[in-house]
């Protein structure tokens, strides 16, 4: 519910921790989210399985569970309709008249990977100022007042490999909302004073990056993984690159990518499809197709060099990440890899690394593994926080599990649990129409087959133990990893050099 948290969204970019007012402590907070993010977006898809579980009940309770009878689920998820406007814009529409709301989620083919290294931060700043700076027709203040009075929201952002824009509006205010939304997409004003203000806010965020160990950890890990590729840069940019960005750069970048034929839109809610199509044709009638040429992005160099890195910070808990390059999103082994990760460290309590590090030895609250899978080669990693005194122990345990999963096939029960989880969680992909429409936009944007959701379950089910061993051998490298620890080595249980020659990275502050 992005719209609800708009006030928060404004500030989240600055990476200030969220005040948690109720201060609920939760048993598995970080983990659960990671599970969902690390799993494929469509992980839960497929027809629910109702066969008797292959896992033999291990406890009296499990025996009782195995005697329960579950009726098969009868559910045909609604499908979003794919349409293409005359100007080339691709739409996924899903009518849903339950609530008087309309949500539009647009994805624009762009990203910070297309900005020059010396102007890192350009794309991201554009994403911020598009919304914050008003348009050539309306001042920012007027937009804010109009939208907030009707409880609508429009937000824009440009991330590493995609741009996004969204509208959420009550049905009665649909025309007004769409008008402002289109205006922001097409005619952002990029006024100098707003550029200055937002740049300064981004700089304040950068100034605060080193305040939280997790920020340091992933910023530096990415830099180590991709020393000469845009994947290694910070999307937000750096003080010197931000200083170089001019208004002209922003106008030009926007002009280059924001064309209707370069945009996919998911539209869900209380409208009539034909009427909506007419509205969009009318709204965008003077927005012609245009050729978009993308700068050449060099392929990721697949190199594996072991390195052990250390950053000093005076804290009593070490932040650890270890990993290496892995697969891209469209890799044919994707499903096998996701299931493997579930078994290894992505399935929270049901997986090996957390079971060892957290459940058995009590060394961490948050510990998990994941594959990050962008357009080009992404990476595999294990992340945990553990008290300084158990730093090396937690690292060794994690490495040991990675080695083990390469050596012998996973157990049948493990694979069954992983597959059942993915297939039985499937229905949760379809709990809202907005989610369904945006899944389709994402599928098409990422270059996945458009029947992805229809074939998902069979693909999960097709994975075998042999596949798991094969992809473990192919994509896991427990001897050739990058290890990074942020913490205070004076209190470590062993010397970090146990894992290899230690490269110490000095933190630089921002003045």
Partner 1 sequence: MNNIFSSGHFERKCSVPARLARGLVRHKVARYTLLCTLFFFLILAQPGLISSQELRLDVEEHVLRNGLKILTLERHKSPTVSLRIVYKVGSVDERPGITGVSHLFEHMMFKGTKLFGTKDWSIEEPLLKREEELVVALDKERGKGEAADQGKIKAVEAELEEVRKKLKDEAVKDEIWSIYLSNGATGVNASTGEDATFYYCNLPSNKLELWALMDSDRMKNMVLREFYSEKDVVMEERRLRTETSPFGLLFEQLKAAAFIAHPYGWPVIGWMSDIQGLTKEETKEYFTRYYAPNNAVIVAVGDFNTQEFIKLVEKYFGDIPAQPPIPEVETVEPKQMGERRVYVEYEANPMVAIAYHKPQVTDADQYPLEVIESLLARGRTARLYKTLVEEKRIAVMVRAYAGASKYPDTFYIFATPRYPHTTEEVEQAVYEELNKLRKEPPSQWELEKVKNQLEADFIRGLDSNSGLADEIGFYESIAGWQYINIALQRIKAVTAEDVMRVAKKYFAKTNRTVATLVKKKEEAAE
Q: Which is nearer to partner 1, 170 or 251 (CB)?
A: 170
The answer to the question of residue 283 lying near partner 1 (CB under 8 A) is: no
Interface characters, 178-217, with partner 1 (x: CB under 8 A): -------------------x--xx--xx-xxx-xxxxx-x
Largest CA distance in the chain: 70
The answer to the question of residue 361 lying near partner 1 (CB under 8 A) is: yes
Start-to-end Cα distance in the chain: 36
- Short-list 162, 191, 165, CA closest to 251: 191
Contacting residue, 175, 281, 360, 408, with partner 1 by CB under 8 A: 360
DSSP 135: B
The answer to the question of residue 47 lying near partner 1 (CB under 8 A) is: no
Number of Cβ atoms within 10 Å of the Cβ of 314: 7
Alpha helices for 39-110 (secondary structure H): 60-67
Shortest approach of partner 1 to residue 285 CB, angstroms? 30
Q: Which is nearer to partner 1, 260 or 487 (CB)?
A: 487
The answer to the question of residue 295 lying near partner 1 (CB under 8 A) is: no
**271-284 as b/e: b if 16+ CB within 10 A:** beeeebbeebeebb
Contacting residue, 442, 444, 459, 476, with partner 1 by CB under 8 A: 442
What's the token pair of residue 508?
């630089």
Q: Which residue has the tokens 């304040």?
A: 204
- Only segment of 84-92, 275-283, 381-389, 403-411 that touches partner 1 (CB under 8 A): 381-389
Shortest approach of partner 1 to residue 284 CB, angstroms? 26
∠ CA 41-39-236, nearest 5°, is: 75
DSSP 56: P
The answer to the question of residue 92 lying near partner 1 (CB under 8 A) is: no
**Euclidean distance between CA atoms 173 and 404, whole angstroms:** 58
Shortest approach of partner 1 to residue 337 CB, angstroms? 11
Shortest approach of partner 1 to residue 288 CB, angstroms? 30
Contacting residue, 109, 254, 259, 329, with partner 1 by CB under 8 A: 329
The answer to the question of residue 166 lying near partner 1 (CB under 8 A) is: no
Q: At what angle do helices 391-407 and 465-475 cross, to 10 degrees?
A: 130
- Only segment of 63-71, 178-186, 240-248, 294-302 that touches partner 1 (CB under 8 A): 63-71
Q: Which is nearer to partner 1, 70 or 293 (CB)?
A: 70
**Euclidean distance between CA atoms 290 and 284, whole angstroms:** 13
Is 214 buried (19+), middle (13-18) or exposed (0-12) by CB count in 10 A? middle
Query: How far is CA 508 from each of CA 79, 201, 206, 312, rounded to the nearest angstrom?
Result: 51, 19, 11, 11
The answer to the question of residue 137 lying near partner 1 (CB under 8 A) is: no
Reported for 359-368, long-range contacts at CB under 8 A and 24+ positions apart, including other chains, are 361/390, 361/393, 361/397, 363/387, 363/390, 363/393, 363/394, 363/397, 364/394, 365/30, 366/29, 366/30, 366/31, 367/394, 367/398, 368/30, 368/31, 368/34, 368/35, 368/38
The answer to the question of residue 506 lying near partner 1 (CB under 8 A) is: no
The answer to the question of residue 145 lying near partner 1 (CB under 8 A) is: yes
Contacting residue, 119, 374, 463, 469, with partner 1 by CB under 8 A: 374
- Short-list 242, 292, 246, CA closest to 109: 292
Contact present, 492 and 388 (Cβ < 8 Å) = yes
Q: Which is nearer to partner 1, 101 or 185 (CB)?
A: 101
The answer to the question of residue 420 lying near partner 1 (CB under 8 A) is: yes
The answer to the question of residue 40 lying near partner 1 (CB under 8 A) is: yes
Shortest approach of partner 1 to residue 45 CB, angstroms? 12
**Euclidean distance between CA atoms 344 and 399, whole angstroms:** 11
Shortest approach of partner 1 to residue 222 CB, angstroms? 6
- Mention every residue, 6+ apart, whose C-beta is less than 8 A from residue 147: 153, 154, 177, 180
Contacting residue, 79, 83, 95, 170, with partner 1 by CB under 8 A: 170
The answer to the question of residue 508 lying near partner 1 (CB under 8 A) is: no
Segment 220-279, which members bind partner 1 (CB under 8 A)? 222, 233-236
Shortest approach of partner 1 to residue 466 CB, angstroms? 21
- Only segment of 155-163, 180-188, 278-286, 462-470 that touches partner 1 (CB under 8 A): 155-163
Shortest approach of partner 1 to residue 509 CB, angstroms? 9
Contacting residue, 278, 302, 428, 494, with partner 1 by CB under 8 A: 428
The answer to the question of residue 156 lying near partner 1 (CB under 8 A) is: no
- Only segment of 161-169, 258-266, 273-281, 299-307 that touches partner 1 (CB under 8 A): 161-169
Phi, psi dihedrals of residue 105, rounded to the nearest 5°: -125, 110
The answer to the question of residue 61 lying near partner 1 (CB under 8 A) is: yes
Segment 473-502, which members bind partner 1 (CB under 8 A)? none
Q: Which is nearer to partner 1, 85 or 101 (CB)?
A: 101
Helical (H) or strand (E) element with 157: strand 153-158
């Amino acid at each position: 519910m992005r719209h609800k948290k708009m006030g928060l969204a404004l500030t989240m970019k600055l990476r200030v921790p969220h005040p948690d007012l109720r201060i609920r402590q939760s048993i598995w907070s970080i983990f659960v989210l990671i599970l969902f993010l690390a799993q494929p977006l469509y992980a839960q898809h497929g027809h629910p399985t109702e066969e008797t579980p292959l896992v033999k009940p291990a406890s009296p309770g499990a025996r009782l569970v195995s005697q329960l009878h579950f009726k098969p689920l009868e559910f045909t998820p609604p499908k979003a309709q794919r349409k293409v406007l005359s100007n080339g814009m691709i739409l996924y529409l899903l009518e849903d008249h339950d609530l008087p709301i309309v949500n539009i989620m647009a994805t624009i083919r762009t990203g910070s990977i297309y900005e020059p290294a010396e102007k890192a931060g350009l794309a991201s700043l554009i994403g911020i100022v598009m919304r914050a700076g008003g348009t050539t027709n309306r001042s920012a203040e007027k937009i804010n007042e109009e939208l907030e009075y009707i409880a609508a929201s429009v937000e824009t952002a440009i991330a590493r490999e995609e741009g996004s824009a969204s509208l959420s509006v009550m049905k009665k205010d649909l025309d007004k909302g769409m008008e402002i939304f289109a205006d922001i997409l097409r005619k952002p004003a990029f006024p100098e004073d707003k550029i200055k203000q937002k740049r300064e806010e981004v700089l304040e965020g950068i100034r605060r990056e080193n305040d939280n160990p997790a920020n340091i950890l992933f910023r530096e890990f990415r830099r180590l993984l991709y020393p000469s590729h845009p994947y290694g840069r910070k999307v937000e940019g750096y003080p010197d690159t931000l200083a170089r960005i001019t208004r002209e750069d922003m106008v030009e970048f926007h002009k280059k990518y924001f064309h209707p034929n370069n945009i996919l839109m998911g539209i869900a809610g209380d409208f009539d499809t034909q009427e909506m199509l007419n509205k969009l044709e009318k709204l965008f009638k003077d927005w012609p197709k245009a050729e978009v040429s993308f700068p050449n992005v060099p392929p990721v160099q697949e190199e594996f060099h072991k390195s052990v890195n250390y950053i000093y910070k005076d804290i009593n808990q070490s932040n650890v990440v270890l990993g290496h390059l892995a697969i891209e999103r469209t890799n044919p082994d994707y499903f096998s890899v996701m299931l493997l990760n579930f078994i290894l460290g992505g399935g929270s309590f049901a997986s090996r690394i957390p079971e060892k590090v957290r459940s058995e030895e009590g060394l961490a609250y948050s510990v998990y593994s994941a594959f990050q899978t962008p357009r080009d080669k992404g990476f595999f990693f294990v992340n945990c926080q553990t008290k300084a005194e158990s730093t090396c122990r937690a690292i060794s345990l994690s490495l040991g599990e990675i080695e083990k999963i390469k050596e012998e096939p996973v157990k049948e029960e493990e694979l069954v649990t992983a597959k059942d989880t993915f297939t039985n969680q499937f229905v949760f992909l379809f709990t809202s129409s907005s989610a369904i429409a945006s899944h389709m936009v994402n599928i098409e944007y990422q270059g996945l087959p458009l029947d992805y959701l229809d074939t998902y379950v069979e693909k999960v089910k097709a994975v075998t133990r042999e596949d798991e061993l094969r992809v473990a051998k192919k994509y896991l490298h427990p001897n050739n990893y990058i290890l990074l620890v942020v913490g205070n080595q004076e209190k470590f249980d062993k010397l970090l050099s146990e894992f290899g020659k230690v490269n110490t990275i000095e933190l630089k502050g921002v003045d």
